[in-house]
Amino acid sequence: MRGRVTFLHHPNDAFDPKQLQLQNDTLRVKALKAAREDKLTLGLYELPQEVSNSNPQKATPSIIYYQTLPSLTDLATYLHQKICPEVDESCTFRTASLKSADYLDIDYDTISQSLVLSAFWHAPPLTETWDERIDNSQASFKVEVGVLANEKPTQPEELSLAGFLAVVGEDSKPTSPTDGCALYTYLTLPSSLFLDKYQLSSPNLLTSKNLHSIRSLAGETDLEAPIWAVSKWGSALLLELAPPPSTPGPHSTGGVNDPGSSWHADVPLHLRYLPPSQEGDASISVPWPIVFWACPSDEGTKMNTNPFDRVNLGYDGLFEPRAMFYHLQPASGGESLLEELQVPVLDLEGSKMKWVRSGTVTMMVLGFLWVCLKLLTVNWGKLGKFRKERGQAEEERLRMLRLLRKLM
């Protein structure tokens, strides 16, 4: 047996996650203005004997049973007596609330052999907001609770919802369906630019620039090679960003351009040595970065596959096959997504070039003289040492000759 309670509120109605208080096996809902749907799923072995013995496995889609119920009071009483345990007050309250439901659907799934009861309320029966406690005191009874709102879908034909989910008795706090999503940027760098991966290994630098970590770096990564020594086209960088906690997620009803949601991330890049020019600058083309959210899909989610899709052609191959992507649209105004940059290079005709030439010749001459001076200093020292040692040897020879003459 498992239950699911879904609250659907209007996007304009303010909702604070503090309105959901999750403690142990109890969830308290406070002052929530929303429509509500309760869904209860029962296995065949959990049904009353008179229902399970009716052999519903033989039912087919062509056989449909209708029964007019002027009131749901008798059905609510029957469910309370046959399904709810005596000590489960939450189950008793929920079955009693069926009396005020707008509609009730009962469906049997022959594949999973389970009976599904769905009840809907467009608003609370007695008050304007929902104030109640959802309890899960039964260890075998799983209750999922969701507070959702409509959001702008990624495709016109889709219906998209976002909000908070919780499993009573398992989760310690309500979580957003976007938990686990991460914000990435993918940069295609020409050979004239490169990234220093060692520079981005500093946690302090990453934090100061709203960056998280490098996920992938492929291509030309030589830090010292000039442009004429680079044989590859450039490099590709996948970088995980570190947005502030208040940044809207991929499923939020707001946008990245909403007031108060603006922030920036800095990616430090370096320029290679480029060939000199007559003007003293050069033009390079840099593609705009691609920014997107990547979210893992829920376990068991069915993903439609288009046989004509070509996959693993870019950064999608760096994620799991079931990852879902939500792209942020660049504010290009319909113009090209290629940025033309003017960068400084050596000016062959400028006045600075004359200083460079004369300075280079001067330094070469000074360096040559310095080397010669060092060589002369070393040789002069060796020559003096040699003369000193030769003089000492000559004095020793004369002393020995005088000594021999005296002995003779």
Contacts of 183 (CB under 8 A, 6+ apart): 240, 241, 243, 247, 291, 292, 293
Higher pLDDT, 149 or 408: 149
Residues linked to residue 4 through DSSP beta bridges, in sequence order:
39, 144
Percent of the chain with pLDDT over 70: 80
At 154, is the pLDDT very low, low, confident or very high (cuts 50, 70, 90)?
low
Tell me, what's the pLDDT at 271?
A: 92
* Token pair belonging to 403: 């000594």
Residue 38, judged by CB atoms within 10 A of its CB (0-12, 13-18, 19+), counts as buried
Place of tokens 């946008």: 255
Give dist(CA 191, CA 234) in Å, integer.
Answer: 4
Per-residue b or e along 82-106, where b marks 16 or more CB atoms closer than 10 Å to that residue's CB: ebbeeebebbeebbebbeebeeeee
Higher pLDDT, 100 or 67: 100
pLDDT above 60: residue 56: no
Contacts of 289 (CB under 8 A, 6+ apart): 185, 186, 187, 267
Nearest to 252 by CA among 160, 385, 174, 340: 160
Q: Are strands 2-9 and 142-151 parallel, antiparallel or unpaired?
A: parallel
Higher pLDDT, 364 or 23: 364
Among 112-126, 157-171, 292-306, 322-336, the range scoring the smallest mean pLDDT is: 292-306
Give dist(CA 192, CA 285) in Å, integer.
Answer: 9
Tell me, what's the pLDDT at 256?
A: 44
pTM score above 0.75 = no
DSSP-based three-state secondary structure for 213: strand
Higher pLDDT, 46 or 9: 9
Question: In the Cβ-directed half-sphere of 225, how many Cα atoms lie within 13 Å?
Answer: 15
Tell me, what's the pLDDT at 257?
A: 44
Give dist(CA 11, CA 253) in Å, integer.
Answer: 7
Give dist(CA 100, CA 96) in Å, integer.
Answer: 8
- As a whole number, mean pLDDT of residues 3-10 equals 88
Task: Report CA-CA distances (Å) from 408 to 331, 378, 402, 404, 405.
Answer: 113, 46, 10, 6, 5
Q: With beta carbons less than 8 A apart as the criterion, state whether 25 and 135 touch.
A: yes
Tell me, what's the pLDDT at 260?
A: 47
229-261 pLDDT tens trace: 888 788 999 999 988 765 666 655 444 444 445
pLDDT above 80: residue 140: no
Tell me, what's the pLDDT at 58?
A: 53
Q: With beta carbons less than 8 A apart as the criterion, state whether 281 and 177 touch.
A: no
Percent of the chain with pLDDT over 90: 15
DSSP-based three-state secondary structure for 60: coil
Give dist(CA 1, CA 253) in Å, integer.
Answer: 34
At 137, is the pLDDT very low, low, confident or very high (cuts 50, 70, 90)?
low
Higher pLDDT, 136 or 256: 136
Q: With beta carbons less than 8 A apart as the criterion, state whether 346 and 280 touch.
A: yes
Tell me, what's the pLDDT at 272?
A: 92
Tell me, what's the pLDDT at 370?
A: 92
Contacts of 122 (CB under 8 A, 6+ apart): 35, 102
pLDDT above 60: residue 139: no
315-335 pLDDT tens trace: 888 888 778 888 888 876 667
Q: With beta carbons less than 8 A apart as the criterion, state whether 111 and 61 touch.
A: no
Tell me, what's the pLDDT at 313?
A: 73
Task: Report CA-CA distances (Å) from 286 to 2, 79, 168, 337, 339.
Answer: 54, 67, 50, 9, 5
pLDDT above 80: residue 62: no
pLDDT above 60: residue 351: yes
Tell me, what's the pLDDT at 64?
A: 60
Nearest to 319 by CA among 290, 294, 293: 294
Tell me, what's the pLDDT at 255?
A: 45
pLDDT above 60: residue 342: yes
pLDDT above 60: residue 73: yes
Give dist(CA 159, CA 155) in Å, integer.
Answer: 8
pLDDT above 90: residue 300: no
- The amino acid at 343: V
